Amino acid sequence: MGDQYLEEVKAVEVGTRIAIKATRTTKHDLPFDAKGHTVSRMTIKALGTVTANRGDGRHLEVEWVTDYEPRDWYFYTIIQNFWKLRTDTDYKLLTYARKLIDFIWGEVDQDYDWFLRQWYGDDGSLATAPLIPADDSTGTSILEPYGPETIIDEGAFLSLSTVTEILDLLRRKQAVILQGPPGVGKTYLARRLAFALMGEKDTDRVRLVQFHQSYGYDDFMQGYRPEPETSGFAVRDGVFYRFCNTARKDPERDYVFIIDEINRGNLSQILGEALMLLESDKRGRDFAVPLLYQRDGEPDFYIPENVHVLGLMNLADRSLAMIDYALRRRFAFHDLGPAFEHESFQRWQADRGMDEKLLELVVTRLSALNEQIKADPLLGRNYLIGHSFFVPRGDDLAGLDEQWYRQMVLTEVAPLLREYWYDNPTKAEEAKNQLLRS
């Protein structure tokens, strides 16, 4: 636990009953019908009673129950490390807390039917019950729980082990770039990774920007902007500066800053002092530095430890240079590729009613094209065609036919092929014809 819990731990009295928990989200193998929703699951792993408190905020002596068998509790959970169950709040939260106390220490089974009535309406939609209790100052939260399994369920076309690997990388390195050819779902995946890292679907703690050639330090960190009241200029804070300030006030929860097209801007110019601070071992107040436009009396800037940066990079744009080595070592990289042959891609389409022959056509033709691109010495893996071109919106794909496939090839894929083989239009035309052949 971090230093933010020092006072709470110091206040724990001898005789207090405590439990060790592990919280995640899940949608499968539930002991009740969650109506297709993802729910929070908290495993109570151990029970004990505090026998001594050293008063340093870090150490408690506990007498543990030796024969305790872990038990799973659903719905009313929290992802914070330290959770003191309150029994002096409003009636609804008091009822939830009382039921959890009875479950943990009274060995009472959880009443799933009661919780289902609180959480879901008659039509299966989420009700207005709090999914996760917030602190006393903000009341209750209605945030939807979110985990790695949810990413899979929503069609990321990755294995659970791959999603877990990316999340572990983001936690360890705190600055990660997802890179790959166009259409592999980088932007789609990024926001969902952020939610999974946080354990809940909280859009207020995720910010997405897109770099471009005109993007600068004053947009990202600080810079002079027109001041209408004085007809002059004043220092204004950039989007990343403001994001870090917000995260700094909420150290118990993770924040994720997403940069789309990260290699499209001049990174050294945009990041400035933040370049050094991106490193995971340079986070926190001890590494604070003065900014270029720092105002009088303003404290030095630092990136808080709960901020994670997720960059997205298209590898197929010939006009963009690769990021330099000084920047590269500050990020960890994960490659994403087309998922036509991935079982989850084919199952996703089939579950939504796509015609079996149409699905086979998409998988076979696009996989063959990608093999041709990969074998081309002037192209290679960075120029593969992504699967997102052939992932229609909606949950009913039964009405799609070969005409839809032809339209996607002519309007989405063929223009890309002409760009790839701009010096060999005959090859681009042949590749298009192979996709459209009868």
pLDDT in tens, 291-345: 988 888 889 999 999 999 999 998 887 555 556 676 778 899 999 999 999 988 9
Span 138-163, mean pLDDT?
Answer: 77
* Contact by Cβ (8 Å): 22, 12: no
Give me the chain's average pLDDT, please.
Answer: 86
pLDDT at residue 89 in the model: 55
CATH 3.40.50.300 range(s) for the chain read: 151-333
pLDDT in tens, 412-425: 999 999 999 999 99
Taking residue 247's Cβ as centre, other Cβ atoms within 10 Å add up to 22
CATH number listed for the domain at residues 151-333? 3.40.50.300
Band of the pLDDT at 380, cuts 50, 70, 90? very high
Question: Environment class of residue 232 by beta-carbon count within 10 Å: exposed (0-12), middle (13-18) or buried (19+)?
Answer: exposed
Of 258, 251, 135, 250, the residue nearest 195 (C-alpha):
258
Band of the pLDDT at 141, cuts 50, 70, 90? very low
Predicted confidence (pLDDT) at residue 124 exceeds the cutoff of 60: no
DSSP lists the bridge partners of residue 258 as 208, 310
Q: How is residue 413 annotated by DSSP? A: I
pLDDT at residue 166 in the model: 95
State how far the Cα of 341 lies from the Cα of 364, in Å rounded to an integer. 9
